Amino acid sequence: MPMTAQQPALVRRLGLGDGVFIGLGSMIGAGVFAVWAPAAHAAGRWLLVGLAIALVVAFCNATSSAQLAAQYPTSGGTYVYGRERLGHWPGVIAGWGFVVGKTASIAAMALTFGAYVFDPYARWIAVAVVIVLTGVNLLGVTRTAQVTRVIVSVVLVVLILVSVANVQGGVREFPPGQPIVPVQGGLYGVLQSAGLLFFAFAGYARIATMGEEVKNPKRVIPLAILWSLLLTAVVYAVVGGLLLWRIPAEILGVTDAPLAFATAHSPWVWLTPVVAAAAALATVGAMLNLMTGVGRTTLAMARNQDLPGWLARVDAVHRVPRNAELVLAAVVCGLVLVTDVRIVIGFSSFGVLVYYLIANLSAWTQDRGDRRYPRFVQALGAAACVVLVVTLPWQAIGLGVAVYVVGVVYRLIRGRGRTNVATTSVGKDGIEESRPRRAAD
Digit-coded pLDDT (tens) for 356-403: 999 999 999 999 888 888 999 999 999 999 999 998 888 888 888 888
Given a cut of 60, whether residue 179 has pLDDT beyond it is no
Mean pLDDT of the chain: 79
Residue 419 main-chain phi, psi, to 5 deg: -55, -40
Bridge partner residues of 75 (DSSP): 210
Given a cut of 50, whether residue 235 has pLDDT beyond it is yes
Report pLDDT for 208. 64
Distances (CA, A) of 22 to 147, 213, 238: 10, 12, 21
Summarize the confidence of residues 184-196 as an average pLDDT.
Answer: 86
Summarize the confidence of residues 158-185 as an average pLDDT.
Answer: 68
Q: Give the whole-angstrom CA distance, residue 47 versus residue 36.
A: 9
pLDDT tens digit string along 327-362?
999 988 988 887 766 677 778 888 888 989 999 999
Distances (CA, A) of 184 to 42, 307, 340: 5, 41, 21
How far is residue 310 CA from its own chain's centroid?
A: 25
Given a cut of 60, whether residue 425 has pLDDT beyond it is no
Pairing outcome for strands 420-426 and 432-438 = antiparallel
Sorted by where each begins, the domain ranges of the chain are 16-438
pLDDT tens digit string along 259-315?
888 888 888 888 888 988 888 888 887 787 788 878 877 887 888 778 888 888 888
Summarize the confidence of residues 58-72 as an average pLDDT.
Answer: 86
Residue 3 amino acid letter: M
Cβ partners under 8 Å of residue 308, min gap 6: 1, 302
432 in helix, strand or coil?
A: strand
Q: What is the pTM of this model?
A: 0.76
**CATH 1.20.1740.10, domain 16-438, yes or no:** yes
Q: How confident is the model at residue 4 (pLDDT cuts 50, 70, 90)?
A: very low
For the beta carbon of residue 409, count every other beta carbon within 10 angstroms: 10
In this prediction, what percent of the chain has a pLDDT beyond 70? 83
